[in-house]
Structure formats: C-alpha cells, structure tokens
Amino acid sequence: MKKLLLISLAVLLLPACADKKQYEQAVLEQMQKEQDLKDYKITPEYMTKCVVDTTAQNMPGAFPLDPNRMTAYRNYAKMLTLTSSTDPKKAIEELRNDFGSAQALSDAHNNYTESLMECYSAVISQSEESVKEDDKKQ
C-alpha cells in the first residue's frame, strides 16, 4: 500500500516539476537577452531565480505543487515564448483562453514585469552595498 501511495505521489510530482522547470527555462532565455544584466554584471541564472520566486508569490495556487500553480507555470512559460510563435495573433488568443480572460493574461504579464523590476532593484541595491563595503575595507 505504501509503495502504491509513493508511486502515485511521484507520478503527480514529476509533471509538476517539469512545468516549473519549463517556466524557469523561459525566464532564463529572457534574462540572457537582457543587456542591463550584462551592464551590471548580474548572472542570468541569479536573476532568473529571483524572478521565478517573486512571480510565484502572486500566482494562483496555495502551495508550490498545487495543480493551479503548475498550470500557471505552464501558462507563464507560454506567455514568455510568445515572440517565437509563428502566429502571434493565434498564440495571444490561446493565452487568453489558457489564463481565462484577457484581464487575467494582463495581470500575469504585470506580475512578471513587476517581479522583474523588483528583482532589478534588489539585485542592484545589493551590488551597490557590496561595493560600499569593499570601499570601507580599503
């Protein structure tokens, strides 16, 4: 009985992890294109972790492995890869349907953008504090 429960749990968790990884990969691809990261010498991986964690705070779902959260990860990843779509108009319609409405899609985009700005602010602030501490030591 325990083995059956463990197998069932594993079957549920594997796709959930894949959805989050897909979203992380989409964010990483966006971060690798950001010139500001290069200018401030911020690694795309560090910024990706910040953005994924920050957006997750405002995504649907009560906990990380909630099915609603997994759907949100999938939808957010799809939203970030919209520019690579061969038919952007059709992709936007699909996203509206996936998110439930045009307003929900807009809210998701705002969540991503606000998270990105929060992360820029936090990371740049941290790097400036590090420079000040280094200057004091010298």
Q: Which two tokens stand for residue 8?
A: 């069932």
Cα 120 versus chain centre, distance: 14
The per-residue pLDDT for 124 is 85
Q: What is the CA radius of gyration of the chain?
A: 18
The per-residue pLDDT for 6 is 46
Q: Which two tokens stand for residue 124?
A: 């740049």
User: Which residue's entry shows tokens 């061969």?
Assistant: 86
Name the pTM for this structure: 0.81
Which residue ranges of the chain lie beneath pLDDT 70?
1-17, 130-131, 134-135, 137-138
Residues in Cβ contact with 58 at an 8 Å cutoff, skipping those fewer than 6 apart: 111, 115
